C-alpha cells in the first residue's frame, strides 16, 4: 500500500470503522455506567449552603487551597493543555470542515497562525506535564500504564497534525495519513481508557456532589 492508498483508506474505510467502534464503545460504557443505579436513600435530605452537585462541579474544577503552589505543573499545565486541545480540535478550520461534512454543523474558526501557536504551547505543556509525572517520585509511583497510554494517545494526533500542516519530517501525504490514523486510534481507545473522562467527568462530579449534598456534606 503506497502513501496515497494509505491516506485514502484512512479517510474512508478507516474513519468509518473508527467512528463505528467509538459509538458502539461509548454506548456500551455509558449504558454500563448509568444502569448501575443506587440504593434508595431513606434518610431525609438536608439542605446546606454549598452542598450540591453543581457546587461540587465548580469546586472540583478549581485547585484545592494550597495545591496550586505545591503542584503548579499539574494544575496550571493541566488547564493549559486541556484548553489548548479544545481550541485546536474545535476551532481549526479543516476540523470544522470535517465536522460539517459528517454532521452538517459549522462554526467560525481561528486564524491558522493562532492555531499554530496554541498547538506549540499545548505540545510543550504536555511534555512538561509528562516530565513532571516521571520526575516526581509520588506521581511516578501512582502512575500506571493507562496513564501513559492516555497521554500518548492524546499527544500523537496533536504532534502529527502539526507536522502535517507544517510539511515537516515526512511527505505531507504520509504525515496526514498518520495524523488521521492516530485520531482514529484515539477514537477507538477512548471508551476503554481513562480518556472516557471527557464524557463522564462533570456527570460523576455532579453525582458525588448530589449524594453528599443530600447528606449535608459539601463534596
pLDDT tens by residue, 8-39: 899 889 999 999 999 999 999 888 887 877 77
> Is residue 50 situated within a structural domain?
no
> Is residue 192 situated within a structural domain?
yes
Q: Report yes or no: 76 and 68 within 8 Å, Cβ to Cβ.
A: yes
Residue with cell 452537585: 53
Euclidean distance between CA atoms 176 and 164, whole angstroms:
5
Residue with cell 454543523: 105
Q: Which residues contact 1 (CB under 8 A, 6 or more apart)?
A: 9
> Is residue 30 situated within a structural domain?
no
Residue 9 buriedness (CB in 10 A; 0-12 / 13-18 / 19+): middle
> Is residue 60 situated within a structural domain?
no
Q: Report yes or no: 10 and 187 within 8 Å, Cβ to Cβ.
A: no
6: number of CA atoms within 13 Å, CB side?
A: 15
> Is residue 109 situated within a structural domain?
yes
Number of domains in the chain: 1
> Is residue 61 situated within a structural domain?
no
What's the domain range around 164? 3-14+66-214
78-137 residue pLDDT tens: 999 999 999 999 999 999 998 998 888 899 999 999 999 999 999 999 999 999 999 999
> Is residue 39 situated within a structural domain?
no
pTM of the model: 0.85
> Is residue 184 situated within a structural domain?
yes
Amino acid at each position: 500500500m503506497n502513501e496515497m492508498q494509505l491516506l485514502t483508506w484512512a479517510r474512508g474505510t478507516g474513519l468509518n470503522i473508527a467512528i463505528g467502534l467509538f459509538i458502539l464503545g461509548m454506548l456500551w460504557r455509558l449504558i454500563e455506567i448509568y444502569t448501575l443505579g443506587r440504593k434508595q436513600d431513606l434518610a431525609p435530605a438536608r439542605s446546606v449552603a454549598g452542598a450540591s452537585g453543581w457546587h461540587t462541579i465548580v469546586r472540583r474544577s478549581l485547585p484545592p487551597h494550597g495545591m496550586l503552589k505545591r503542584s503548579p505543573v499539574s494544575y496550571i499545565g493541566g488547564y493549559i493543555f486541556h484548553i489548548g486541545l479544545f481550541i485546536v480540535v474545535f476551532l481549526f478550520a479543516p476540523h470544522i470542515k470535517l465536522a460539517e461534512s459528517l454532521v452538517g454543523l459549522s462554526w467560525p474558526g481561528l486564524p491558522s497562525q493562532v492555531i499554530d501557536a496554541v498547538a506549540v504551547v499545548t505540545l510543550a505543556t504536555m511534555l512538561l506535564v509528562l516530565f513532571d509525572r516521571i520526575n516526581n517520585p509520588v506521581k511516578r509511583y501512582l502512575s500506571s500504564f493507562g496513564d501513559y497510554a492516555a497521554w500518548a494517545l492524546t499527544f500523537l494526533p496533536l504532534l502529527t497534525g502539526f507536522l502535517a500542516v507544517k510539511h515537516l519530517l515526512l511527505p505531507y501525504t504520509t504525515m496526514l495519513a498518520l495524523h488521521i490514523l492516530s485520531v482514529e486510534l484515539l477514537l477507538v481507545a477512548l471508551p476503554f481508557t481513562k480518556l472516557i473522562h471527557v464524557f463522564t467527568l462533570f456527570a460523576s462530579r455532579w453525582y458525588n456532589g448530589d449524594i453528599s449534598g443530600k447528606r449535608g456534606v459539601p463534596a
